[in-house]
Structure 1
Amino acid sequence: MTSDLIDYLLTYCINKKIDVKFTNKLDESTPDICYPKHRKIIINKNYNTIISIAFRLAHEMSHILYGDSDAQGVYAFSPLSKKFEERLAHENGIELIARYVYSDTPVENRNYLNFMYEFGLPSSFENTVSDIVKKI
């Protein structure tokens, strides 16, 4: 599923004119980066995190698609940040993925805990994931 999901997200980016680059030239402490005003995302394949590349990509896409491009020039992936812009990107990233994953799944068959496990999301996301998975 992850490969299909990434293909879906990349096609979505192409359709929305978002430039995505994957690199393995950055060290493991360098997070993914998003430049909303320029509609560019850099995904660091070496980044040391259990959070999936698919979620990280959806998160960065959300900064461009749903964020305020003038609010901040650059965003670095930060799963534990309490900033409004980061929480909004988490929520919209979850929704982007959940709409794809659960497009043909009745609400009663959706398991938000499996979703969290599949994408390596921390327990602090539990309420958000549960709410989004139920509502989409």
Structure 2
Amino acid sequence: MQNWILDSLLRKAKFLGIRVVWSSELKQDTPPTASFKYRSVVMNENWHNPDEITFQLAHEIAHILTGDRYDSALYEQTFNHHALIEHKADLGAIELLLPYYCENVNSAIANSPDFVRLLHIPSHLTEDVTKLMSLYYEKKQTTHT
């Protein structure tokens, strides 16, 4: 499931004017990063768990889509700012990824643990996935009635 989603996210990034650079020079534990100012993402080809790369890319794209120019200044100021900025990107990543799952799974059998497992989303986001998935299906239902 992941390869076609990754390819689609790369096309979406290009369409949105977000440059994605893949580096093979980073250590296995060096996380990807995004620059709001330069609308670019650096992804780590050597990441120790390749299954996490799709969510990582969505997360980094979301930093650019949901961020603002003050994020980089606030990011290092306090843990609270850091956590809020990261959580906003996590939510944005989930919203970017939900259509790939929800358009292929009937709402009656869709479930957030399955989505989290399939896309290797950190398990602490399961409750957020549940809320956003419910909103996604509700919105889909209201636009089709």
Q: Which has the higher helix share?
A: 2
Instruction: Detail structure 1 runs of 4+ shifted over 4 Å in the superposition.
Output: none
Normalized against structure 1, the TM-score is what? 0.85
Cα distance in structure 1, aligned partners of 2:82 and 2:113: 22
- Output the amino acid matched with 1:53: I
41-50 or 82-91, which deviates more: 41-50
Assess if the C-alpha contact under 8 Å between 1:27 and 1:46 holds in 2.
yes
- Please give the residue correspondences for 1:95-106 in structure 2 after superposition, counting only pairs within 5 Å: 95-106=95-106
Unaligned runs of at least 5 residues, structure 2: 76-80, 137-145
Give the drift of 1:59.
0.3
Assess if the C-alpha contact under 8 Å between 1:37 and 1:70 holds in 2.
no
**Residue of structure 2 in register with 1:7 after alignment:** 7
- Please give the residue correspondences for 1:34-73 in structure 2 after superposition, counting only pairs within 5 Å: 34-49=34-49, 52-72=52-72
33-42 or 61-70, which deviates more: 61-70
**Helix, strand or coil for the counterpart of 2:71?**
coil
| Pairwise CA RMSD | 2.0
Assess if the C-alpha contact under 8 Å between 1:50 and 1:120 holds in 2.
no
Cα distance in structure 2, aligned partners of 1:92 and 1:82: 15
- Which is greater in Rg? 2
